[in-house]
Amino acid sequence: MTLVANIQVGNEVELIEQHIAYHLALGVDGFVIADMASVDGTSEILDRYRGDRRFVLRKFETEALINAEGVHTAAVGRWMLQATRDHFAPDWVIRMDADEFLYPAGDLGACLAALGPGAAFQIARRNVIFAEGQPIPAIPQTQDALAAFEIVAQPVRTSRRDYAGDDSLPLILTEVGPKVIARADQVAAYATGGHGTLDRAGERIEAPAARGLLLVHFWFTTPGRFLRKARFTAETEALLRHHPQAPKGWQWSRWAGLAQPGDAESAAAVMREYQRQFPDAARLDALRGAGVVCAVASHGAL
């Protein structure tokens, strides 16, 4: 039972090597990686994997993704799927980002075999959470190490509209959408953000929950990464001004609105958003006691 990862990565220099090492150790058979105009050293790291038969790599510059004719990120997803079929012909393909780590409840192959006959399944994502002032530990490179990290097991569902009315809850405690794992020969494209798949007619494929699989989401790691990605999002959204209907992740749009390159006041505003994602020790203990926060290995959905 073979599995290939489709990864869109943009400016994840702190995470991409760890992401690859972890998933190779887990048993992922190959990677098709779209480098989305990275400028922080991610591209140079990915260059080290060129020539390795387990990797198919392509860098997309900004003008290939967004130009006067529109937004072309859907084409990136189609390229990843076709490259996956051409180079690997695997049983399964999983759509991830560099800050997402797949955690199976036991052996990966056994979890894949247990999925059933469907064409596609949704994998729940849960945010990793750290205490205020806690040094960010090393990003895990083994399944056992990942199992010990704490996640928000019972996130609160919200929306752009709801959060605009009341933003008192740190976004780390809110729900993020699932990603998708699918049979590579039965899907034609990804839905926006990799949260689903489409058939050849462009219809969304029904995708039940993938029992036994979880994506552990390292949304907030270092302050530098957060500020850099917020500013990059702001630059990207400036290019989208002629395409206001283009889909965007509203949480990052919120932070991008605070980020202006070279502006010390805006950098401070972004850092305040970052810092409030880390509860103090008493708050974190209360969240644990309420079952909101638990270790990855204890998450009930597995």
Tokens of 133: 């002032």
Structural domains of the chain in order of their starting residue, each with its CATH number: 3-220+277-298 (3.90.550)
Sheet holding 125-127, edge to edge: 100-104, 213-217, 125-127
Task: Report how far residue 63's alpha carbon sits from residue 126's, in angstroms, rounded to the nearest whole number.
Answer: 33
| Nearby residues of 35 by Cβ (< 8 Å), 6 or more positions away | 9, 10, 42, 43, 46, 57, 58, 59, 60
How many residues would you count in the chain?
A: 302
Q: What is the pLDDT of residue 48?
A: 97
| C-alpha span between 11 and 62 (Å, rounded) | 13
What's the confidence (pLDDT) of residue 70? 67
CA 218 distance to own-chain centroid:
8
- What's the pLDDT at 72? 76
Q: Which amino acid is at 33?
A: I
pLDDT tens string for the chain (302 positions)? Answer: 899 999 999 999 999 999 999 999 999 999 999 999 999 999 999 999 999 999 999 999 877 787 766 677 889 999 999 999 999 999 999 999 999 999 999 999 999 999 989 999 999 999 999 999 988 899 999 999 999 999 999 999 998 889 888 989 999 999 999 999 999 999 999 998 899 999 999 999 999 999 999 999 999 999 889 888 887 777 776 666 665 555 556 676 777 777 665 666 777 888 888 999 999 999 999 999 999 999 999 997 67
What are the beta bridge partners of residue 34? Answer: 8, 58
Q: Is 249 exposed, middle or buried (0-12, 13-18, 19+ CB in 10 A)?
A: middle
**138 class by beta-carbon count within 10 Å (0-12 exposed, 13-18 middle, 19+ buried):** exposed
Three-state SS sequence of the chain: CCEEEEEEECCCCCCHHHHHHHHHHHCCCEEEEEEECCCCCHHHHHHCCCCCCCEEEEEECHHHHEECCEECHHHHHHHHHHHHHHHCCCCEEEEEECCEEEEECCCHHHHHHCCCCCCEEEECEEEECCCCCCCCCCCCCCHHHHHCCEEECCCECCCHHHHHHCCCCCHHHECCCCEEEEECCCCCEECHHHCCEECCCCCECCCCECCCEEEEECCCCCHHHHHHHHHHHHHHHHHHHHCCCCCCCHHHHHHHCCCCCCCHHHHHHHHHHHHCCCCCHHHHHHHHHCCCEEEHHHCCCC
Residue at token pair 């809850």 = 169
